[in-house]
């Protein structure tokens, strides 16, 4: 039985507009128009025929596209990780470099004991006289730190103390001034890469301090000498340890450098005049 069906040029037909067992003979040129999904293809043979005839993108190309998207997402995730890691490492590396350079600058050629007494004492007195005129300042010779101290900064108000820390070390509101009782000072160790130009890592080198090291505080034209006794790493909310301390000077900074997870606390006693 001849099942041949003739179509006139420019005729409108739908996909698989034929009997199940009939075959297409000759050449069929189709102007494909996709309308509201009116044809449902269920036969495996029909699906394969449709894929070969009308699908412009082979299955292998789809797999390649999916792999390309996956690689792009993986590369993006890796880039985000690297940027996040760099935001922690760069401020720490910069602060560490500055600390080492400062130490190199403070190293002097070895001289005899007598020369050290004559020259060293003179140089130290000149340095001390330069800073005595300032109202409030901290000097730590071991780490070559010299910074102004901003008075009465509320440590419980971040939006306020972050602004003050741009100008130096902060004196905690409610703590005593030198010569009156326990002095509490706090400053940045390091900050994120986005704020590295705004905040100077004043207390980054405090981690180098050991028992017996000297800290000078200048206040109202007087010099106060403190001796480091010990250091502790505490949780940010562990205030009882600080309140119960008998130390005359307490320095606080974030720990580890580049984070605010914990606090590195340095305790020092005032040397009697």
Q: Which CATH number fits domain 88-270: 3.40.50.720, 2.40.30.10, 2.40.260.10, 3.50.50.60?
A: 2.40.260.10
Angle at 26 between CA 22 and CA 27, to 5 degrees: 115
Q: How many CB atoms lie within 10 A of CB 264?
A: 20
Please compute the mean of the pLDDT values over residues 188-215 and round it to a whole number: 74
Residue 104's pLDDT is what?
Answer: 59
Domain(s) labelled CATH 2.40.260.10 in the chain stretch across 88-270
Asked if residues 82 and 126 have their Cβ atoms less than 8 Å apart, the reply is no
Query: Taking a C-beta distance cutoff of 8 angstroms, is the pair 53, 45 a contact?
Result: no
- Other Cβ atoms less than 10 A from the Cβ of 270: the count is 19
User: What CA–CA distances, in Å, run from 150 to 182, 190, 260, 263, 267?
Assistant: 16, 18, 21, 20, 20
Could you tell me which of 196, 152, 198 has the C-alpha nearest to residue 173?
Answer: 152
Give the mean model confidence (pLDDT) for residues 228-241: 94
pLDDT surpassing 50 at residue 115: no
Whole-number average pLDDT of the chain: 74
- pLDDT value of residue 120: 45
Q: Pick the residue with more confidence: 27 or 48?
A: 48
Task: Quickly state the pLDDT bin for 257 (edges 50, 70, 90).
Answer: confident
More confident residue, 117 or 272: 272
Q: Is the distance from CB of 234 to CB of 273 less than 8 angstroms?
A: no
* Higher pLDDT pick, 232 / 114: 232
* Residue 124 CB contacts under 8 Å (≥ 6 apart), including other chains: none
- Going by C-alpha positions, the residue among 262, 169, 174, 257 that lies closest to residue 219 is 169
d(CA 243, CA 249): 12
Phi–psi pair at 49, nearest 5 degrees: -60, -40
* pLDDT of 226 above 70: yes
> Which of 173, 157, 155, 181 shows the shortest CA–CA distance to 254?
155
Kindly indicate the confidence band of residue 168, based on its pLDDT and cuts at 50, 70 and 90.
confident
φ/ψ of residue 109, rounded to 5: -60, 145
**Residue 249 CA to its chain's centroid (Å):** 29
Distance CA 50, CA 150 (A): 78
CA distance 56 to 259: 54
Q: pTM for this one?
A: 0.57
């Amino acid at each position: 039985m001849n099942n041949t069906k003739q179509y006139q040029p420019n005729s409108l037909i739908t996909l698989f507009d034929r009997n199940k067992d009939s075959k297409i003979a000759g050449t069929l040129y189709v102007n494909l128009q996709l309308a509201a999904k009116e044809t449902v293809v269920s036969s495996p043979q029909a699906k394969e025929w449709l894929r070969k005839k009308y699908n412009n993108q082979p299955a292998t190309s789809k797999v390649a596209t999916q792999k390309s998207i996956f690689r792009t997402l993986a590369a993006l995730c890796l880039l985000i990780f690297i940027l996040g890691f760099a935001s922690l490492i760069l401020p720490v590396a910069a602060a560490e470099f500055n600390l080492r350079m400062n130490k190199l600058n403070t190293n002097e050629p070895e001289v005899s004991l007598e020369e050290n007494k004559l020259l060293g004492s003179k140089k130290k007195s000149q340095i001390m006289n330069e800073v005595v005129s300032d109202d409030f300042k901290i000097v730590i010779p071991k780490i070559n730190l010299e910074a102004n101290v901003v008075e009465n900064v509320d440590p419980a108000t971040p939006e306020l103390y972050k602004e003050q820390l741009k100008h130096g070390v902060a004196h905690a509101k409610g703590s005593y001034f030198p010569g009156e009782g326990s002095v509490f000072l706090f400053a940045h160790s390091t900050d994120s890469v986005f704020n590295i130009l705004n905040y100077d890592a004043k207390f980054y080198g405090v981690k180098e301090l050991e028992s017996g090291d000297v800290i000078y505080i200048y206040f109202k034209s007087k010099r106060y000498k403190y001796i480091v006794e010990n250091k502790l790493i505490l949780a940010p909310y562990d205030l009882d340890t600080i309140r119960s301390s008998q130390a005359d000077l307490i320095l606080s900074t974030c720990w580890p450098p580049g984070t605010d997870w914990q606090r590195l606390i340095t305790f020092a006693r005032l040397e009697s005049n």
